[in-house]
């Protein structure tokens, strides 16, 4: 049986406190900027996807995805 390696986002000096809300939001933005620039099937963007998925609550991601679909997302994409 293959061993599964579980990782989370690495430490980021921009977010030194324990509150990871901004870190989550920034990683979500970075992922979508990468996808817009390089396309969805790009390995370069997959690391950002792993980071935001490990940091962000699923409810937030669902809400942000809905907002992006509706054109009401407040973030800089």
Structure token digits, residue 26: 């920034």
Taking residues 64-76, report their average pLDDT.
92
For 1-40, write each residue's pLDDT tens digit: 677 676 777 777 776 666 778 889 999 999 999 999 998 8
Reply yes or no on whether the pLDDT at 72 is more than 90.
yes
- Number of H helices and E strands in the chain, helices first, is 3, 0
């Amino acid at each position: 049986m293959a061993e599964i390696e579980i990782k989370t986002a690495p430490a980021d000096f921009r977010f030194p406190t324990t509150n990871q809300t901004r870190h989550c939001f920034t990683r979500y933005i970075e992922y979508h900027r990468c996808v817009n620039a390089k396309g969805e099937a790009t390995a370069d963007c997959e690391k950002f996807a792993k980071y935001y998925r490990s940091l962000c609550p699923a409810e937030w991601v669902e809400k942000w995805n809905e907002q992006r679909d509706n054109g009401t997302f407040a973030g800089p994409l």
